[in-house]
Amino acid sequence: MIRAVAILGLSLGVGSASADVLQTSSGPVQVTPMIEGLDTPWAIGILPDGTFLVTERDGELLYVANGQADRVKGVPKVATRGQGGLLDVTVARDFAQSREVFLTYSKPQKNGAGTALAVARLSKDGHRLTKLRVLFEAVPGGSSGRHFGSRVVEAEDGTLFVTIGDRGDRPAAQDRSNLMGTIIRINRDGTVPADNPFVGDANSRPEIWTYGHRNPQGAGLDAQGRLWVSEHGAKGGDEVNLIAPGQNYGWPIISYGVHYSGQKIGDGTAKPGLEQPQHYWDPSIAPSGLMVYSGKLWPQWADNIFVGSLKFDYIARLAGTPLREVEHIEGSETDRVRDIVEAADGSIWFISVGQGVVYRMTPGS
């Protein structure tokens, strides 16, 4: 049984025992709960020593170590409206030296909220963030509680990618004078890299790397260092995109979905100068976290893309050229999968919002 513990006013369980088994194309896998009793968890950040961080959308950051979970103090104030709140957490590549972690969240602003990125140092005991500073915020944001996007990925060169949704303002995703519906790229000190594609363009924000996105909530690098994202369509038209600098990914001019009213979106599914998705879903699966797998524990899954489904309660495995969905990994544990990451040992960790649990997946016996 999972041991229930009271933690700073929380009633959480930290995984210490039984694992369930799911059947996959690579044989049985064990799925072990690592922490239970979470309230709308959003992201996982695994530290080099095997301890880990979990964000909860209401603004809590939890540090889990040695069977104990504690609230982390010093988290920035968040606007918890609609889909907003404390969202992604990413552990810096040089954490062993810097102890830095990156957080994305909906930052309160005069007229609402905007997607923001902050960096802070985690204390050695994991209980406090210090030297917090905001590296970036999307200004102006907006009053809508929708489409914050909000994954942060550290590229191999140390720059940071942040995904930002269109905030429900569809035309804004085609207007490079604002940051809605974009993926941005900045340096770790918050400055803009000189080789960003729109630097020097008076009509564009220099942080923009790509635009024409609806609500990208999954992002990860492949073995070549390329950025892949998963993003929500409207009614149909969820996408997996391979990101290339300066490109327009089409929203809302083209889409494989339709408006919730059933009306056509834009000009159809393709148009010159607009990027096509590497894969799309219709009907929508509501994709969130995305991870490109190394193959460390499951060599046959090397370079496969894993995407969590919030709507249909499974983990999608995608492979091949052209990219296609080749497997559903599913069970009671995959209830609204919000995030999915690979640990240093090759195990696959994921968040089930429906269960309020972080799970660890390893090869079964």
The pLDDT, as a whole number, for residue 12 is 65
Count of Cβ atoms closer than 10 Å to residue 294 Cβ: 17
* Cα–Cα dist 84/103, whole Å: 13
259 is catalytic: no
Residue ranges of the chain whose pLDDT lies below 50? 1-11, 16-17
The pLDDT, as a whole number, for residue 365 is 73
Closest CA to 125 of 67, 48, 60, 72: 72
Rounded-to-5 percentages of helix, strand, coil across the chain: 5, 45, 50
Q: Angle at CA 60, nearest 5°, toward 54 and 63?
A: 40
The pLDDT, as a whole number, for residue 67 is 74
The pLDDT, as a whole number, for residue 15 is 52
The pLDDT, as a whole number, for residue 73 is 98
Predicted TM-score (pTM) of the model is 0.95
**Torsion angle of the four alpha carbons 12, 15, 16, 22, in this order, in degrees rounded to the nearest 10:** 150
The pLDDT, as a whole number, for residue 282 is 96
The pLDDT, as a whole number, for residue 6 is 33
**Residues 365, 341 contacting (CB under 8 angstroms):** no
Do strands 61-65 and 315-319 pair parallel, antiparallel, or not at all (unpaired)? unpaired
* Six-digit token string for 135: 């590296």
Closest CA to 347 of 298, 306, 274: 298
Of the residues 127, 147, 232, 279, which is catalytic?
A: 147
The pLDDT, as a whole number, for residue 27 is 95
